[in-house]
Structure 1
């Protein structure tokens, strides 16, 4: 876009006349809280924050930004680690007030507004014995998670959140609304399932929900010390090769917070979730791992879905400082395990951690070109994440995340997950986009971008530029 303009009083007055929500300017009560995002490292000062009151408010804000050449940040749940939900000297469209979730239990269809969190959706679906596959932190926004893909505890039996999407209503750069589905604007629908917020502002999502027991058989096997970690990782690698789809497991390595009552030493935690009613079968499967690598401690018991889904929330309060990197990989042999264990042993502080997601199952059976999401053949996905409070720790925590990611680069099998990517100022946008999607998918996404956002209004994201 061309040179950006200043938001003047006349424009503000016009915007206030058009929207049912609230327009907050610097100095207004509530502005300072409204400008902040989840990642406390991100400090931005928008010219205005528009808190949408209805879905109809989205179009006027988009048109205002385009016509006045103002940078536009779109915020759903606001949990984006790169801090893309705010901007200096531009407009923030805050969708937090649009959190309604409608459930049709007979058809197993769920319609979700763009400000809803995973907790909002789970609270609506769980009473019906249903769930939409999403992520692992309940304060995450449904919109950003889905547009980026959506890993979580139901990925192996049901695929990504984006794989369970039926349709999206999208406000385009022109301010008009289109519907994207398999039968209506199918190419746009393809791009929305992993291409992020590059093509417009989603005003609603419609999902297919999945049956889920009232309680899921779930838990954590806990291991202390590098010697035990090596044994646990070797056993877990063998165990994952024979798992049914209904068992999803995620390894987390961190110094537990005090409330977890696991002590202050680094711990490797093998978490699992069994998605069927037959808990005895789940117990038999988990017991095979327990026998191969006896844990130092464990918490294994049935849990309500909403309880299990929110178990990690306390690690990620709003305002925490954060920097993340991720990669896919297929090998978990002695060479890779040695790298992982060495980095795990460095974490003597509370404030960084990493997860290893075991994939396959329904996720891996989606054809590679069916969505933009990269690398459906990956066995594992590593997310290295920092979450600390003191700015004095910035350099050390960022260096740990970057160093670990560098160590894993020789084993990477391609693609990055945009929801696990922090901000990387100064990196060439096209090179970054190629590293995420690969050249073939990127060319298809660029063509979509040219059709729906040729001036790149929606650029405050992991951006797909409309030019080569």
Structure 2
């Protein structure tokens, strides 16, 4: 599709307007998931809120679908829309730290790396995505599960305020004092209500973290995973991490004979360093691992420790569990044999609990679930597409006997309206539709885990 760009749009635009004929267009439309190959008619790289409002208005006048791009890390590729207009926020990536108030003002296009590095200069941190390339905006608005959640709560629990441009171009600010109902909806409701151009987030003192990433042969998985489960059931809030099957990477801490083969690992994080960290996680470092690393590092370094290289094909899913008994352990380990090997895929079990379970009653029905299984598929060859997707769905379905019925929507792709309902909760969805009707009655912002105005659960 070719869309005529009114000269006035380019002239008044402080950022950059790209169409398929412009240099840089293909680079600008590339996102994290290489399975997604969409060709927008216009990519509006916004430099300020006026650009955002102008881009939305342009799209609506011409009947173009709208998508919003922050980090471009969502697995379903909703950041792009074929033949439509992309509101690209990546130029809005500034981060300003107030060390006395312990807050960060974060642009809507910033990544976790932008936020983590800026906060680290003051020995501060907040719950962030588990990889540094994640966009702050989509992460926070979807709830925000990360390494520090058991200590500091979900990312949205640390949200102080949000500034948005709505579907009619209005600038609004939401906080506990200003439009509290919209503010509530932004804790898990995603990008349904407007384009978030700025966030203020609460920070916490955290100069460094303790980390243990330990590996075993895959066949040791059931025994070590059981020990990990039992440890996390009573671990203090300072402890986070996850257990996972991976392809052992070519790193110094991996025995040569394991490289390229399926392996079991767990990552333990401790929000602090020193003797207390050794006392708490020390028993788990004495289980006979054959490779790994135990160290202390800045939190920002932990955040990029497991970054996956771009250019891979992706498919993810998730299932939240009410318990993880021995038969669930056995099924989890068995399904790891279906992973695409070698690849950067990860079959993960994340513990929740701690501050997550004690947090406010936002539209996050999975808050009280103790465990979540997350097949995180990455592979290179399109011939492996069907196999990789079947593995992800197979693992999710295998966990259904222990499922709670809730799901973290940032962990899944486009799995239908029933999963959106599970991600938000029946009662919450009724309330969210009213907020949606008020701020986006025409459902302009529907390229997301969509809440439709006027449609109740």
TM norm. shorter chain > 0.5: yes
Superposed CA offset, 1:179-204 (max 9, x none): 00011100101111111100000010
Work out whether residues 191 and 448 of structure 2, in 8 Å CA contact, stay in contact via their aligned partners in 1: yes
Aligned mates of 2:297, 2:327 — CA distance in 1: 36
Range with bigger deviation, 411-420 or 457-466: 411-420
User: Does residue 412 of structure 2 align to residue 449 of structure 1?
Assistant: no
The 1:294–1:8 alpha-carbon spacing in structure 2 relative to 1, beyond 3 Å, is closer
User: Does residue 91 of structure 2 align to residue 97 of structure 1?
Assistant: yes
Work out whether residues 123 and 306 of structure 1, in 8 Å CA contact, stay in contact via their aligned partners in 2: yes
User: Does residue 332 of structure 2 align to residue 332 of structure 1?
Assistant: no
User: Does residue 388 of structure 2 align to residue 392 of structure 1?
Assistant: no
TM-score for both structures, normalised by structure 2: 0.95
Work out whether residues 19 and 42 of structure 2, in 8 Å CA contact, stay in contact via their aligned partners in 1: yes
Deviation at 1:346, TM superposition (A): 3.3
Match for residue 402 of structure 1? 393
Task: Choose which of 146, 149, 154 in structure 1 pairs with 2:143.
Answer: 149
Q: Which consecutive residues of structure 2, in runs of 5 or more, have no partner in the other structure?
A: none
**Structure 2 counterpart SS, 1:322:** strand
Aligned mates of 2:6, 2:296 — CA distance in 1: 53
User: Does residue 371 of structure 2 align to residue 377 of structure 1?
Assistant: no
Superposed CA offset, 1:373-425 (max 9, x none): 2222111111111111111111111111111111112211121111111234x
Work out whether residues 170 and 200 of structure 1, in 8 Å CA contact, stay in contact via their aligned partners in 2: yes
User: Does residue 126 of structure 2 align to residue 132 of structure 1?
Assistant: yes
Deviation at 1:7, TM superposition (A): 6.8
Superposed CA offset, 1:302-355 (max 9, x none): 112222110111x2x332211110011132211101101101233360233222
Work out whether residues 7 and 68 of structure 1, in 8 Å CA contact, stay in contact via their aligned partners in 2: no
Task: Choose which of 248, 270, 274 in structure 2 pairs with 1:274.
Answer: 270
Aligned mates of 1:207, 1:129 — CA distance in 2: 15
Aligned mates of 2:191, 2:342 — CA distance in 1: 32
Task: Choose which of 345, 349, 355 in structure 1 pairs with 2:337.
Answer: 345
Match for residue 217 of structure 1? 210
Match for residue 410 of structure 2? 419
Say what the alpha-carbon RMSD is for the aligned residues: 1.6
Q: What aligned pairs does 1:64-213 form with structure 2 within 5 A after superposition? A: 64-213=58-207
Task: Choose which of 226, 235, 254 in structure 2 pairs with 1:234.
Answer: 226
Aligned mates of 2:175, 2:342 — CA distance in 1: 43
User: Does residue 315 of structure 2 align to residue 319 of structure 1?
Assistant: no
Aligned mates of 1:386, 1:37 — CA distance in 2: 16
Work out whether residues 255 and 347 of structure 1, in 8 Å CA contact, stay in contact via their aligned partners in 2: no
Superposed CA offset, 1:429-453 (max 9, x none): 3x23212222111111111111111
**Structure 1 counterpart SS, 2:268:** strand
Work out whether residues 433 and 442 of structure 1, in 8 Å CA contact, stay in contact via their aligned partners in 2: no
Aligned mates of 1:298, 1:32 — CA distance in 2: 39
The 1:35–1:348 alpha-carbon spacing in structure 2 relative to 1, beyond 3 Å, is closer
Match for residue 265 of structure 1? 261
Aligned mates of 1:289, 1:221 — CA distance in 2: 9
Range with bigger deviation, 73-82 or 341-350: 341-350
Aligned mates of 2:396, 2:98 — CA distance in 1: 43
Q: Which consecutive residues of structure 1, in runs of 5 or more, have no partner in the other structure?
A: 1-5
Deviation at 1:66, TM superposition (A): 2.1
User: Does residue 353 of structure 2 align to residue 354 of structure 1?
Assistant: no
Match for residue 236 of structure 2? 244
Deviation at 1:8, TM superposition (A): 4.6
The 1:329–1:373 alpha-carbon spacing in structure 2 relative to 1, beyond 3 Å, is same
Deviation at 1:223, TM superposition (A): 1.8
Deviation at 1:462, TM superposition (A): 0.9
Match for residue 3 of structure 1? none
Aligned mates of 2:34, 2:53 — CA distance in 1: 29
Deviation at 1:290, TM superposition (A): 3.5
Work out whether residues 248 and 272 of structure 1, in 8 Å CA contact, stay in contact via their aligned partners in 2: yes
Match for residue 462 of structure 1? 449
The 1:183–1:131 alpha-carbon spacing in structure 2 relative to 1, beyond 3 Å, is same
Aligned mates of 1:270, 1:83 — CA distance in 2: 29
Deviation at 1:237, TM superposition (A): 1.6
Work out whether residues 105 and 198 of structure 2, in 8 Å CA contact, stay in contact via their aligned partners in 1: yes
Aligned mates of 1:297, 1:139 — CA distance in 2: 27
Q: What aligned pairs does 1:26-37 form with structure 2 within 5 A after superposition? A: 26-37=20-31
**Structure 2 counterpart SS, 1:134:** coil
